[in-house]
Each structure stands twice: as C-alpha cells, then as structure tokens.
Structure 1
Amino acid sequence: MTHSAEFEKFAACLRALKGRADLSYEALAHKTGISSSSLHRYCSGSYVPPDYGCAHRFATACGASREELRKVHRLWALADAARSASSAPVSPEPEPEPATRTETGTGTRAERTQDAGPARTEAPSPTADPGVNPSPDPASDPASDPASVVDIVPAATARRGAWNQRGRLTLAASVLALALAAGAWALIPETEPHTTGATNTTDTTDTRNTGKKDSRLLFSDACDGTVGMGQQDACVREVQRLLARAGADIDVDSQFGPQTLRRVTAFQVLAGIAPNGVVGEQTKKALYAQKTRMDTWSPEKVRQRVREVFEEEPDRAAAIADCQSFLDPLHILPNTNGTRNWGVFQISDTTLRELGGTPSTALEPEWNIQAAHRLWQRTEDFSAWPHCDRAYQSSPPPTPTPSLSQP
C-alpha cells in the first residue's frame, strides 16, 4: 500500500462523512476549532492531521457513529504510519490552526495530548517512564482489514448527537508506535519485578540452563523471542488466554491488536515489569506464574463512584470518564511522543507525577477518580479534558427518565 493510497483512503472517509452531514468547511471549522484550510487539506488527501484528536473532532462534528469513529481511527493510524514510513521527504505541515479563539482548550497543545489529563506535551525519554497515559478498553478493537474502507451509513440511519456518537480515543498512537517502532520499544529491557514479594524474580521452570525442555508454549521454539503488536498466531492466543486467566477482560482471538497491547501493558505495570507492551521473557514468566491479578471494577461501579465523588457535576463527570476510557480502570493510551495516559480519567505522565502518583496507583479506580476530582477543584471545570468536555457541551440534553408510577 503506497503512501498516497493510505492518505486517499483516509481522505475519502472524511469526505463521505462531510457529505452526509452536509456541512461546509466553515461550519466544521466552527464546530471543531480547526481552521477551514486545514480541514480542506485533510479532505483533499494532501495531508493527514498530526494527531488523532483532529480527526476525532471532525468525525464527531459530522455525526459519526461509534463504529465509524473506530474505522476513522484505524484509517488515520494507517495513513500516519505510511507518512512516517515513507522514504520520500514530506513537506512539513503546520499544526491545525484554531478557527476561533472563543473556545477554551482549543489549540495545538490540547490536540497533541488527546485529552490526557491537563493538556501537556512531555518530551520522550530513552527509558520510558513506567507510567504513561489508556485504559483497559472494555470494547475490544478487533483487527480489521487495513484495506477496507469505512462504510458511511445514510443520514437517515446515522445516529445523531455528538455525545452519543463520539468515538472514544482508542489506540492510534500505539498502532503507529508499534507498527513502525516495535524494535525501538523492544530495546527497553524487561526488568525483574521490583515489587515486594513479586514472583517474577525467579522462574523455577525456566530450564534453559539445565538442558531440560520447557514445554510451555511461550517458551517453545514456535514462540521464541518476543510477542508483540501486529502478530497473529498461537503465541498471541496463549498470551491472551493467560491474561484472561489473570482476570483481564480480553478477546482471545489470536490477534495482537490495540486491546491486547493495553492489557499487556497493564499487566506489566501490575507485575512490576517495565511496561513496553511487548511480551518478552519476564512477562512470559509472570503470566505463567499466575501471581498477578487484573480483576478491577466494572463500568457500572466506576460510573457510580464517579458520580459520588463529583457531586458538584455528576452527570458531566461520568460522561467525560466514559468518553476518556470507556469507564475502564486499566485503560492505557500511548501518545506519539512516548508518553502515556492512565486509567479512568486518562491522567498523563506529567500530571501523574505532579499528583504524587505512579502508573500502578493510576490504575486503581478509587485513586484515579479522586485524583481527577483534585484536578477539577483547581479550576472547578473540566478544562483538563478539553475534547471530551467539548463533546459533552455540544450534545443535546439527555432525555429525562420517566418516573415510576406512584401506587
């Protein structure tokens, strides 16, 4: 697939959404906070937005359904990967220009961090900070044919309402990072677990130095080396099976996609292994040791607790948490600059350190929700999550639930 072909597939999807919505570039600029000239470049196929947040806002403004947003997300990742992989130099494109200055939180800085807590950009470090920005995604992201094109449903059947139809930020950054730089991630060695009592420090069944054959699949010749993003085989299925046994909510489908990446990263954090999203020797040992559990709160329990903590604006807080992470406490989202966002409210690495947290504590739903409320108290608004808050504000008010008949 050529560079231009990937660009055109992405652009064709945007054009179809725009055509169905029957919106001008000026109207979309007003809705998204991106200049009409930048939007025109995206739809013409001459350029791909530098981060998924721009594509997400465009599709949401056009009334895309959740499934359409997932496909937009995938096509953006493929086009961005094609741009980065292309050997031909590409003329630099300026960051999307804000269409207006009337909306707080618009602008390139917020767009770069994908609503990862307070919008901040953190330079990547050679040794990735063990804590990074996703969340276990309760909704699996099934691997799909990269060549497939988004099917845009007729306007009559398209679900309207920016909030109900918004796509949650899944994992474009990780798709790009691992599709193009899996080798670079693999350079980050898996360190022995440093948590007290961790069982991964020794593996009595690792018999490479005793001459005995290890019969476990992940240590067999078939799974020699690492298991990582894009792989589709029995080795991936074994990783997924072991994660599910540890309590993870994951599809066992033999495809190492965004969902598996998130679960592997969360498992590594909980097991005390340097999180790189790649299943190497130490992660394999920890998976078989069965001493790290991934059981966590259900989305219903998360929503209830968010509403209790954010008593000032319970509906808005719950909606933003749902937009950020699908209410998944283990959601972890990598950014293209090497940082990550963590947990229910997708707290960024920088903010996590400011709040005195760690990746492990950020995956604890109670801590994450309380930390998010502390962020809210700084300004008494949801400006730390600009994209999701914008979607909430632009959505129609919820339909009141009829009260039960009185006896």
Structure 2
Amino acid sequence: MIDAVRDPVPQVTTAGEYVASLRDVRRRSGLTYREVAQRASAAGHWLPPSTLATMLGRTTLPRERTVTALLAACGTSAPEIERWLDLHRDIEARLCEPMRPTGRPASGESTHPAPPDSAPVAVEATGPRRSTDRPRSARRRLPLGALALVGALTVGALLPAGDGMTPRSSGTGSSGPCPLVLRQGMYGPCVLDLQERLAASGLRVPVDGWFGPDTTSRVIAFQALHSLEVSGTVDRQVLDALQDSAVSPVAWTENRISKYLRARFPEDPSEAVRLARCLSGLDPLRVEVTADGSRRWGLFQFSDTELSRLGVDRRTALDPGWNIGAARDIWARTGDFRHWTCVSSV
C-alpha cells in the first residue's frame, strides 16, 4: 500500500502553484504515470497516462475529476481530497474576479451593471447580455474557456525552449504542438507518446512522460536496430520509423541469458553472470552514454572504439549471442574478466 501523501493541503493562490503542488504529490508517491492510471482505475476513476501528463504539464487549473483521480491514486484520504477541491474552487473563483463589476451600485441602479469601459473589446463585442441575473457559474465560462485555450497552447511549457513546434498525432486520436526534436531532459505528453511507441515496438521503457537516460538508451537501440542515424534524439524520421515498425526485437529473458552465460563460461559461470548483470542488468539492448558522449553496447557494454576495431556495427553489438561470444573471445585471451571493471552498487 502506498504511503498516502501526508503533507497538508498547500497554501497556494494561483493555478500554476496548484498544478505544481499536484506534481509534487505524484512525485512523492513514487508512481509512474502508468501506475497512477492503473490505481485510479481500480478506485473507479478514469485518468489515462496521456491525460495525466497533459494536466501536470500545464499551468492552468485541471478539472476537478482529474484532480480527484490523481489524489485518490496517490493514497490521499477523502477529507484531504475535499480540501484540495475547496482550494481548487477558491482559485477558480479568484480567476473570475476581473470579470465582476467593482464598487457599490448607486441607489436605484442595477446590481449587475455593464462591464466598465476598461473591459477588453472582445468582451464588449459579444453583444448585450440576455439576462442580468445569470448565475456566477455562467459568468465563469468565458474566462475559463480562455484559460483552457492558453493551457492548450502551453502543453509543452516544461519542455526546453529552442525547438520549433509542429502538430503531431499523439497516438490517441488527438494532435497537439510538439517540438520538432525530442531529447533527453524533456517532459510531458509528447515524451509520453514517444515512450508508448517504443514500448509498442518491443523495447521496454518506463512510460512516465520523462525523457531520461532509460528512454535515451531505448531510442539509441531503436535507431541502431533500424539502421537510422544513432543520435539519441527523436525527429520526424524516428517517429515515422516507430509508426511503421512491425518487427519487435527478439527478446532474451534473463533466465535464458544466465543459462547461455553459464554454458559459455564453464570455468567461472557465476562471475560471468554477475559481471553481465553489473554492466547491463542482463539487458541485451542496453546502451549507456558516457560522459564524453561515446556509447557502450549490449550485455558486456562494448565501446564504440571496440566495435570499430572489431569491424562490427551497432546492430550486431546488441545481439546477445554475438555480445557474449565476443566476451568469451576476450576471456580466452586473458584467462579472466580483467578486461572489464564493474562494482555493483548493491
């Protein structure tokens, strides 16, 4: 069971601060977007990962039902959820304050005077009101609609600036502005869509909306496997290849890899398995990017330089049979595993 969010409901006054507090709730829960969606569904709510990523990537108030779903999935108690919703309504009401007439009406005047002369032209151009007694919820529609439009234009607000924007299908039937190039460090629904496409292609990756090292590793592996330029960034060519990819990588399970390692290294099978696990987590498609920008490939993490010297392309390096065979050749020359150095953090 998740340790429910114990921090008190934040004392915030703006929509942006409110959303930032919701991001903190999700982060403290330790759940990925996919896990939040699953737990929300189990609690009777509907909150797809893409919706969650969009909500937390904006600076405008989300819908109350999505707030409820997120908080329930993260283990927040019902009374605390209600307090979050009360705060949501208070902020929403403050957002509508500029649309309310100010000052006391003079004697005999209507209690709902027309907007002041300083009101935006767009508001005045909507024509005379049909009724001067509309409820407050009706008066909110215009500003909230405007805020929703602004939110839609700022979905990528947390993505680094500098890249042009282009409409792209989100994979869920909708489209939205995404950078022309996705790269490590970015965050949001566009990254979530990328991760879902990578997973669909057979590459296991956390689907959490964050373009971190794991996503970079999978992007590089995909590029190598499909003979694309190995850059670790995602442009239209990579997205098209992901869309058209019909062949999933052949997956070797950890059990199969362990058995194969023991068979190829009968002199020291336990150390062979330990070393490969330390280097790559027994993940044959693991790619690590070093501090100098070079890369290491596969189970035994052969470097770019080693692959060049061996005359092997990167796709071959990700084949577990070749990778283990190359490691065996090195062991045969040295008689041990001194070629590699890896100290497990466990």
Give TM-score, length-normalised by structure 2. Answer: 0.49
Higher Cα Rg, which structure = 2
